[in-house]
Amino acid sequence: MKVGVWFVGALGDVATTTVLGARAIARELAPTTGLVTARDLFQGLDLVAPADLVFGGHDVREGDPVETARDLARKGVLPHRLAEDPDLQADLRAFAERVRPGVAAGATRLVRRLESDAARERDRLGPAAALAALRADLRAFRTAERLDRVVVVAVASTEPVPELDEGALETEKAVRALVADERRKAEVPASLLYALAAFDEGCAYVNFTPSLGATPRGMHEAALAAGVPHMGNDGKTGQTLVRTALAPMFRERNLGVLSWSGFNILGNRDGAVLDEPGANAAKTTGKDRVLGAILGDGLGSSLTRIDYVPSLEDWKTAWDFVHFEGFLGTRMHLELTWRGADSALAAPLVLDLARCLELALRRGRSGLQPGLACFFKNPLGTDEQRLPAQERMLGEWAEGLRGGQRT
């Protein structure tokens, strides 16, 4: 079995860390720490082995994954011994050969500034032509590498929230009409085109970002029509992960959360992109929603900020201050500081999702996979935000695939 993983945003830190890590595991140079799919829960489920994954992708930038990996090692995100390993460097170079120019419609100014000439050329195409080009790349990847199946994973920089009429993408028909209409070109964000290309080529799709991707109802229709599984949005890697583990405790103890204030500072490209208000709003809105969903009336107010602090590089640092009320109204608090390497947190989940979506595709599942909610800040197809409940859903999802039966 050979399975392709096609990244949208293939030359970023997350994709590089994912490829390096998968190859390091395949070459037995690293353990599977951080991989949820390495847990007992998934034993006997014939997930594709990391060694059987082939990586490629789109990117609007140019870049050298070998240098990116070295840079990540310098920043403490990866061990030097892996970044300097000649075999792994060869693997990264082979991966780089499989990266094709992407499209950047609807991206932030910063992303636009970084665009390669090849990507700029593609951006001159209308949506329909761009979609065709993306599809052709996916087909070429599958053929050249003789792949059984392909999973497309979006790990590109956050897009600003697009200004689209409510209902513009309510049906697949509406989506197709929009893409076909050259005059409405400016309304079609790149993330939607990538997702559509995946569906149209029979690939599974994962949206690891808060960008639009396959969020609209019309896109769900398209996935079902294509018979492919997909899931999103926005990988749950750090502060939100901890919040969804802790927040249920307050509810279960009947403690009133008076306010939950959280501040994130980070310095990687993701942070730089979030320095633009549109992208920032796309991100923080999702983060805030999570607490409300879990605490309901038990939440007085919440606040989430993300700020760009260049010196922190990939080390996202988050401070949460939870002000809560106990028996007889006594006010207490809990403070939490999280300091994690963003790419090292995201990469194993990307591998997990690629493995899970591939299995779902192989088993003939199509449409949203809410059983994978635990991996996302804004899981599509479910309102469940509590980590413990999502863990149970994951177990049931895995159990459901064990028999190989369609659902």
Interface residues for its own copies in 281-340 (CB under 8 A)?
Answer: 300-301, 303, 305, 307, 309-312, 317, 319, 321, 323, 325-340
Token pair in block for residue 54: 């082939």
In the bound complex, what is the minimum distance in angstroms from residue 352's beta carbon to its own copies?
9
**Residue closer to its own copies, measured from CB, 149 or 243:** 243
Restricted to residues 384-403, the positions that interact with its own copies (CB under 8 A) are 387-388, 391
Contact predicate 235/181, CB 8 Å: no
Is residue 125 part of the contact set for its own copies (CB under 8 A)? Answer: no
* Residues binding its own copies: number (CB under 8 A): 76
**Residue closer to its own copies, measured from CB, 285 or 301:** 301
According to CB under 8 A, which one of 77, 291, 356, 372 is a site residue for its own copies?
Answer: 77
In the bound complex, what is the minimum distance in angstroms from residue 241's beta carbon to its own copies?
7
**Sheet holding 53-59: strands in order across?**
99-101, 53-59, 3-8, 149-154, 204-207, 229-232, 367-368
According to CB under 8 A, which one of 147, 374, 380, 401 is a site residue for its own copies?
Answer: 374
**Residue closer to its own copies, measured from CB, 10 or 347:** 347
In the bound complex, what is the minimum distance in angstroms from residue 379's beta carbon to its own copies?
15
In the bound complex, what is the minimum distance in angstroms from residue 119's beta carbon to its own copies?
29
Restricted to residues 344-363, the positions that interact with its own copies (CB under 8 A) are 344-345, 347-348
How many angstroms separate the CA atoms of 287 and 243, rounded?
9
**Residue closer to its own copies, measured from CB, 37 or 158:** 37
Restricted to residues 231-260, the positions that interact with its own copies (CB under 8 A) are 241-242, 245-246, 248-249, 252-256, 258-259
Restricted to residues 2-31, the positions that interact with its own copies (CB under 8 A) are 17, 20-21, 24, 30-31
